[in-house]
Amino acid sequence: MPSIRPLPDLLINQIAAGEVVERPASVLKEVLENAVDAGARSIQVALDQGGVRRIRVEDDGCGIERDELPLALARHATSKIAQLEDLERVTTMGFRGEALAAIAGVSRMSVTSRASGASHAWKLDAGQAQASPAALAQGTVVEVADLYFNTPARRKFLKTDATEYAHCDEMFRRVALARPDLAMQLAHNGRVIHRLPPGDPERRIRALMGDDFFAESRSVDVDAGPLRLSGRASLPAYSRAGRDAQYFFVNGRFVRDKLLAHAVREAYADILHGSRHPAFVLFLELDPAGVDVNVHPAKIEVRFREGRAVHQFVRHALQRALAESGAGQALGGSPAAEGRQDSARSSATTWAPPPAPLSSQSRLAMEPASRAYFEFATAARPAEGRGMVPAVPLPDSAPGEAPPLGYALAQLHGVYVLAQNADGLVLVDMHAAHERILYEKLKHVLDGSPAVQRLLIPAVFSASPREMATAESQAETLLGMGFEVSAAGPGELAVRSVPALLARAQVADLMHALLEELHDFPASEVITARRNELLATMACHGAVRAHRQLTLPEMNALLRDMEATERADQCNHGRPTWTRFTLAELDRFFLRGQ
């Protein structure tokens, strides 16, 4: 055995670099965070060859005194914490005092800095003992060249310049999203990629996430005293196949955290198909003492003191923000809609509901909501040719105002409902919209308080042995939901009642699907464990099928139901349930007024 010796400093730093300096992007992260910690108002980044050749970060922060320059590059030297208590309430991005030392160990690094009050700047090359005078107006410039030039084994792990650049770009975005108040610029191989003026979070999010995301997302801002969640989260229509475009910040620090990821997933559970992922930029703020950031050298993982409370809060806050995007609000509130208010004709006063149905006799049984609407629509029908807006209060709209989704005109190919509202044309996917509405209403069924409809003639259908067994073992659960099911003979089940909301469903089809869902689950768990699946199954079978002819009152009832339903904008699979074409858009399409 060789004798035991202390490791030389350089080697210690190179070992530490293995943890913090994985690639150019991790260098960029550390240097950017130092600039943020130094109170910079403006940060300029220049990269060459994906950052492998050179990373240069210039800031206008507090700078470093000449005699402290060597300390800045020394391991375990930091100006940010002094004692254990500081670590428990750390508010700076850095605190371990090891990044610059580690980077210096695996690159050619220099730091040029001018502390406020100093007559000029000083430059220190890593490895040198003495700083030399330099020119700089204010702040600090850190230059990192030839990463891993002295550790060829690590250099081999670097990917192409394009890939390394992409990682750097991502790192830059994280800092830029977290700090919209700072002016930030990123250049690669001499070309400016991002030039971001200081501004508010919404503006920064739009600049970095794009107009499409911005239009298809909702603003989140929920303040619950010690916890605050803000930012923007995508509507399901903007969902993605991957988890890119997900930014979660805790006290300004970008994190990837299982607990938070789970809370977000739960918030989207009702509106997003399992294989799709939302896009979001979310900021959680809480007392620094409530979160431990010293879990990992790169500080990308955190630990919450009150994990459960944080989880609940994030989930509910997000759910609420997404639910507030009811159809009516989306119509008036989206920036896209605001941009389109340019048409003089879109004012509600010149708008008239379409003519009432020619024949108002509906041969189809209507749900109570439809019937109520039917009565309303008949009463509110304007005198022929008068073109007045009905003066009857509507859900979510003041007296005299037109309902956001307008009034039905017709049904297209048995699939879409066409309606006219104040702005123009509204198109509704009738099955998807009805399914969504039912899904929300059916939640009461699973809460065990459903209104029940007894069937005059029991629905009898043939069932497999497995279905027979499930119907028997889950009879009580089914009864609680409003389904009275029993054996009618060998291989036959009879349904005597169903939840009133599902009175129009094809009972046999619904039962087959439901029994499939209930199969294999212990009765005690069935509703909690399969809640979403059960709701989806029932909603799908209860919703109007395509190609069923609807009367205008039925279509209007559907529109009113949509306006009154939370999250009616998307079906249970995350597809949009309706869209619109404003008159301005239609005019453009026909090149009118050009």
| Chain residues in the site for ligand ADP (CB under 6 A) | 30, 34-35, 38, 59, 61-64, 72, 78-80, 94-101, 140
| One of 40, 45, 99, 263 touching Mg ion (CB under 5 A) | 99
Q: Which lies closer to ligand ADP via its Cβ, residue 27 or residue 527?
A: 27
Q: CB 299 → Mg ion: shortest distance, Å?
A: 10
- Within 17-36, which residues bind Mg ion (CB under 5 A)? 34
Q: CB 422 → ligand ADP: shortest distance, Å?
A: 54
In the numeric block, which tokens belong to residue 302? 């955190």
Task: Say which residues have a Cβ less than 8 Å from residue 83's Cβ, sequence separation at least 6.
Answer: none
Q: CB 153 → ligand ADP: shortest distance, Å?
A: 24
Contact 90, 287 (CB under 8 A): no
* Residue whose C-alpha is closest to residue 584's, from 453, 401, 423: 423
Q: Which lies closer to ligand ADP via its Cβ, residue 116 or residue 341?
A: 116
Task: Say which residues have a Cβ less than 8 Å from residue 465's Cβ, sequence separation at least 6.
Answer: 491
Contact 556, 408 (CB under 8 A): yes
Q: Which lies closer to ligand ADP via its Cβ, residue 142 or residue 446?
A: 142
Strand order in the sheet with 132-134: 132-134, 121-125, 108-114, 139-145, 54-59, 42-48, 183-188, 191-196
Q: Which does 79 bind (CB under 5 to 8 A by kind): Mg ion, ligand ADP, none?
A: ligand ADP
Give the CA angle between residues 495, 550, 513 to the nearest 5°: 30
Q: Which lies closer to ligand ADP via its Cβ, residue 171 or residue 245?
A: 171
Q: Which lies closer to ligand ADP via its Cβ, residue 92 or residue 537?
A: 92
Q: How far apart are CA 233 and CA 322, in angstroms?
A: 8
Q: Which lies closer to ligand ADP via its Cβ, residue 137 or residue 383?
A: 137
Q: Which stretch binds Mg ion (CB under 5 A): 90-98, 212-220, 222-230, 258-266?
A: 90-98
Q: Which does 55 bind (CB under 5 to 8 A by kind): Mg ion, ligand ADP, none?
A: none
Q: CB 98 → ligand ADP: shortest distance, Å?
A: 6
Give me the DSSP letters along 527-544: HHHHHHHHHHHHHHHHSP
Q: CB 84 → ligand ADP: shortest distance, Å?
A: 15
Instruction: Fill in the DSSP letter of residue 250.
Output: E
| One of 24, 50, 51, 94 touching Mg ion (CB under 5 A) | 94
Q: CB 104 → ligand ADP: shortest distance, Å?
A: 9
Amino acid occupying residue 39 = G
Question: Nearest-CB residue to Mg ion?
Answer: 94
Task: Find the DSSP H helices in 410-492.
Answer: 430-446, 465-473, 475-481
Q: Which does 35 bind (CB under 5 to 8 A by kind): ligand ADP, Mg ion, none?
A: ligand ADP
Q: Which lies closer to ligand ADP via its Cβ, residue 59 or residue 257?
A: 59
3-class DSSP string for 329-387: HHHHHCHHHHHCCCCHHHCHHHCCCCCCCCCCCCCCCCCHHHHHHHHHHHHHCCCCCCC
Question: Nearest-CB residue to ligand ADP?
Answer: 94
SS3 breakdown of the chain: % helix, strand, coil, rounded to 5?
40, 20, 40
H or E element at residue 460: strand 452-462
H or E element at residue 426: strand 424-429
- Within 30-69, which residues bind Mg ion (CB under 5 A)? 34
Q: Which does 431 bind (CB under 5 to 8 A by kind): ligand ADP, Mg ion, none?
A: none
Instruction: Fill in the DSSP letter of residue 205.
Output: H
Q: CB 82 → ligand ADP: shortest distance, Å?
A: 11
Q: CB 52 → ligand ADP: shortest distance, Å?
A: 20
Residue numbers at the binding site for Mg ion (CB under 5 A): 34, 94, 99
